[in-house]
Amino acid sequence: MTDATAEPLHRTDPHEVKVHEKLNWLRAAVLGANDGIISVAALVVGVAAATTNLGAILVAGVASVAAGAISMGLGEYVSVSSQRDTERALIEKERDELATMPDQELAELAGIYRGKGLTPETAQRVAEELTAHDALGAHLEAELHISEHDVVSPWHAAWASALSFLAGAVLPMLAILLPPPEWRVATTFVAVVIALAITGWLSAWIGGAPRTRAILRVVTGGALALAVTWVIGGLLGGVL
């Protein structure tokens, strides 16, 4: 009876970890899209303020999209690769310690559970049972809060970041290219503000933060970026 009820409770932990990981990926995707919206919109608005030549705006926009997506993907790949290498090194170190000094590792595991409030007897029993079941997994979870089977993939992170940037960049490109010249900047500004309000709401919802504050923060930052590049583009356009 005890075993039958304990097993489903034990299985909830990996489920919660997977949900947490999915939320992290979703948060990263929202942030990547947010970057695509702001950076591309700011650039094309600056160029549009300097010239009404659609070809120049298109070239600048496409270059911004390509450079931004590559930069986001490469940056994420390098960052996550470093994290993956660190995790793998920690796993190998723990595996070596378990092979060369199992008694000390068992005592260390028991000490961790005593620190969490278990009695010495219970902590020792938990450590022994977990070690018998999966010694490496028990130590990785208790000491390092990582799993041998869930090492992050830099390629997944890179593609997710690059694609989310591209998805965000589509909106300002359409907003600046489709309307007539006199409406380009205004249309892009309105479209970007609405899109940023949505991404701000999503990021707040994912993180459980206040929605209004997050929306105001991202919309204000994006509007400021557009205003600055519009002024700079207008000044440069007048000089050139």
Closest by CA to 102, choosing from 66, 143, 132, 60, is 132
**pLDDT below 70 — which residues of the chain?**
1-27, 151, 240
74/184 Cα distance (integer angstroms): 31
The reported pLDDT for the residue numbered 141 is: 85
Q: How many domains does the chain have?
A: 1
| Assigned domain for 212 exists | yes
Q: Cα dihedral sign for 178, 184, 190, 192?
A: positive
**DSSP per residue, 45-67:** HHHHHH---HHHHHHHHHHHHHH
pLDDT of residue 23: 57
Please check whether residue 198 is in contact with residue 218, taking contact to mean a CB–CB distance below 8 angstroms. Answer: no
How does pLDDT run across 92-118, given as a tens digit for each residue?
998 898 899 989 988 888 999 998 889
- pLDDT, position 240: 65
Q: Please check whether residue 181 lies inside any domain of the structure.
A: yes
Look at residues 108, 94, 70 and name the one whose alpha carbon lies nearest to residue 147: 94
Q: Is residue 14 part of a domain?
A: no
Contacts 24+ apart (CB under 8 A), 105-108: 105/131, 105/135, 105/139, 106/131, 108/139, 108/143
Closest CA relative to residue 45, chosen from 166, 168, 187, 180? 187
CA distance 237 to 19: 50
pLDDT at 12: 39
Q: Is residue 240 part of a domain?
A: no
CB 93 within 8 A of CB 166: no
Residue 153: inside a domain? yes
CA distance 41 to 28: 20
- Residue 8 located in a structural domain: no
User: Are 176 and 52 spatial neighbours (Cβ–Cβ below 8 Å)?
Assistant: no
The pLDDT of residue 211 is 87
Domain assignment of residue 18, yes or no: no
Give the domain range for residue 154: 33-235
Q: Is residue 152 part of a domain?
A: yes
The span from the first CA to the last CA of the chain, in angstroms, equals 82
